[in-house]
A and B are shown apart, each in its own frame.
Chain A
Amino acid sequence: MAEERVETTGRARSGARFDWLDRSLVGLCLGSLVVVVAGGLAQARFGSFDMTVSQAFWAVFNPDVVLNAQTWRAFLLGPDFPVLGAELPEMNRRSLIVWNIRIPRVVVGLLVGANLAVSGAIFQAVTRNELASPFILGVSSGAGLLILLTLVVFSGLATFLPLIAAVGGALAFLLVYAIAWQNGTSPVRLVLAGVIIGTVFQSLQTALFFFADDIGVVQTAIAWTTGSLTSVDWEQVRMALPWTVLATGLALLGARQLNVLLLGEETAQSLGMDVERVRFGLSGVAVLAAAASIAVAGIVGFVGLIVPHVVRNVVGSDYRALMVGCLFAGPALVVAADVGARLGMLAITGSLGQLPVGIVTGLLGGPYFLYLMRKQGQIGEF
């Protein structure tokens, strides 16, 4: 008995910090990584400028590009960045196409996926609601409304659309929080306020469509409100990357707080947590992540709802593992869906038309989610 005790203690001690890092999580991360790499290579190879597999491979892994500090400074900091910024160096035509047009799109997809998955995971814990997504507290409807307002009414501000969309989402979230606040909030009041605000803003947004005078504006609006990665480049990477790093970093640090929140408000409070402050802070992190993704890709639906469920199904509900899993599985879904969005029409009809990625995440993620739901009776439970 005494020996047994020592052994249990020893095991707990050796892994106290990373005991959640188990085989299922590592498997999930590796699987997601394979999907991302395969998706990335497909995106690099196919398109209107066609190449063979080996041409694409060498265009991607061109040592002159990959090992050149100047290219990375040009990609990640841009030409206008003080001191460290740089112009893109010379490179061959294939590398230029791959690295300047096709790869940034994969990278933006990666960031969007990570942000949305983490954001959804946080909102599911904060609202203790399995149906929560990054957009449950009014974020998408606020962003959508301001997108439409900008495009239809204040078209002069269209250059600031990414920023305006993100700000719209954050403002709607604050409005929802203020409405739900009565000496503190509760998950139910938050979700209800979110749904109501969402409905009102959605109506306004739909009404604005009637004032759009040409089809181009409507198409732009639809691309923004369903989420699209068409024609993104390194500028979008530069825009989203710092916020993504910040938001996901804070989310990882907040994982233990989320675990305690899952025990219910009363327990969390009796354990000495300042529940309101933690809830607001973590919601803020989730909104930041969602806003970063909205700014570069518009409102990509579904990712933030299903990825946390899929990951939870594999690794369990420990948020330390769940967050890490989301950081891999989210990008995998968006990158895979974007392959379909960009190349699907080409494969099916031979035309060069592209779909908004948000449509494909639903088409790809929905059936997979239903499959999981049928196979695992427990999906959707914490």
Chain B
Amino acid sequence: MTGNTDTVTDARHETASDDATEKPEDDAPTFRGDDLVVGYPGTDEPVIDEESVVAAPGEVTALVGPNGSGKSTLLKGLADQVDRDAGTVLLDGEDVDDIGTKALARSVGLLSQENVAPDSLTVRELVEHGRYPHRGFFDGLTESDLSAIDRAIDLAGVDHLQDREIGQLSGGQKQLVWIAMVLAQETGVLLLDEPTTFLDLHHQLQVLDVLETLRAEGETTIVVVLHDIQQAARFADYIVALEDGSVYDWGPPGDVLTEQLLADVFRVDAVVEHEPLRVSPRRALDDGSD
């Protein structure tokens, strides 16, 4: 796995070697969690017990698993949003606990599963909030803030909604706007918690298109929780499959997504075809065996 990542990174360096020497800051950051133990106050057993995850720099890592397998908890642990009981999260080799909250928010962006905003807020105003970590207490919006906001709105494809109020948008449009807000944060690491769940097909694909664009640019390290295994197969470079708080397997989709995994982790009988990778679930397996 590690060797694999290196070759990919090296290949990217070769093709864009000029760029890389000119603007080394464009390099996607490395991001990993080591031996993470994450739980919630009031529960005895941690949800995630000593697991490690490495996000491939500049690529898309998808966390998959059934409901309650700890995908979101792991993501929140990585984002420093819940207190870790043990383990470290390293951003470019630096422990995130040593980075201030605001500085961390300039490097790691998180889109939560559920988001609320006042209905009368306009789309542009919401996206502006993405610049929060870049602004001082008294600062107005600078030129670079404004261009980041424009770029985020453009990238998320919500130009035409800029002046609309959040309350007037559909669920799918709202999600794209929230993605624009996280993009305006201009972080090297982007963590997305089930960004496509509850959206209609059209908006699901729009969200995934944004991911595709970012992946093609190769400057952002993305970790995304996906509910839909088919989407993970298609859009992720690496898949981390979680079962009951533990990492069952990880690697490129072609290696990870096997009929065995679908039976063990997702408890479905499925057929997996390769080239192109296709997962066709057939029926749910009996729960009785547990």
**B105:A270 contact, CB within 8 angstroms:** yes
With A263-B115, A271-B133 already in contact, the answer to whether A317 and B121 are too (CB < 8 A) is: yes
**B132:A260 contact, CB within 8 angstroms:** yes
In terms of DSSP, what is the predominant structure of the interface of chain A?
loop
Q: Which 6 interchain pairs have the tightest Cβ spacing?
A: A272-B105, A272-B133, A317-B118, A272-B102, A316-B120, A270-B110
With A183-B41, A271-B132, A272-B132 already in contact, the answer to whether A266 and B81 are too (CB < 8 A) is: yes
In the complex the two chains form, what is the Cα distance from A367 to B57 in whole Å? Answer: 61
Closest A residue by C-beta to B137: A253
Interchain residue pairs with CB less than 8 A apart (5)? A8-B162, A263-B116, A264-B112, A269-B101, A271-B132
**B146:A274 contact, CB within 8 angstroms:** no
CB-CB contacts of B149-173 with A at 8 A, as 1s and 0s?
Answer: 1100000000000100000000000
Query: Is residue B106 contacting chain A, with contact meaning CB distance below 8 A?
Result: yes
**A12:B124 contact, CB within 8 angstroms:** yes
**A272:B104 contact, CB within 8 angstroms:** yes
In the complex the two chains form, what is the Cα distance from A272 to B119 in whole Å? Answer: 23
**A272:B79 contact, CB within 8 angstroms:** no
Query: Is residue B140 contacting chain A, with contact meaning CB distance below 8 A?
Result: yes
Query: Which of chain A's residues have a CB closer than 8 A to the CB of B141?
Result: 12, 16-17
Listed residue (A182, A264, A266) with the most chain B CB atoms within 10 angstroms of its CB: A266
**B79:A270 contact, CB within 8 angstroms:** yes
**A270:B81 contact, CB within 8 angstroms:** yes
Size category of the A interface is: 20 to 34
A-B contact count (CB 8 A): 84
B118 to chain A, nearest CB (A): 4
Closest A residue by C-beta to B83: A183
Query: Which of chain B's residues have a CB closer than 8 A to the CB of A264?
Result: 112, 115-116
Query: Is residue A381 contacting chain B, with contact meaning CB distance below 8 A?
Result: yes
Query: Is residue A267 contacting chain B, with contact meaning CB distance below 8 A?
Result: yes
A321 to chain B, nearest CB (A): 10
Query: Is residue A382 contacting chain B, with contact meaning CB distance below 8 A?
Result: yes
**A271:B125 contact, CB within 8 angstroms:** no
Which residues of B are at the interface with A, using a C-beta cutoff of 8 A? 41, 79, 81, 83, 101-106, 109-110, 112, 115-121, 124-126, 129-130, 132-133, 137-138, 140-141, 143, 146-147, 149-150, 162, 185
**A317:B120 contact, CB within 8 angstroms:** yes
Closest A residue by C-beta to B130: A271
In the complex the two chains form, what is the Cα distance from A280 to B129 in whole Å? Answer: 21
CB-CB contacts of A108-145 with B at 8 A, as 1s and 0s?
Answer: 00000000000000000000000000000000000000
B108 to chain A, nearest CB (A): 8
In the complex the two chains form, what is the Cα distance from A135 to B137 in whole Å? Answer: 28
Closest B residue by C-beta to A4: B159
**B129:A253 contact, CB within 8 angstroms:** no
In the complex the two chains form, what is the Cα distance from A13 to B106 in whole Å? Answer: 23
CB-CB contacts of A247-273 with B at 8 A, as 1s and 0s?
Answer: 000000100000110111011011111
In the complex the two chains form, what is the Cα distance from A267 to B112 in whole Å? Answer: 7
Q: B185 touches which one: A182, A262, A271 (CB < 8 A)?
A: A271
CB-CB contacts of A2-25 with B at 8 A, as 1s and 0s?
Answer: 000100110011001100000000
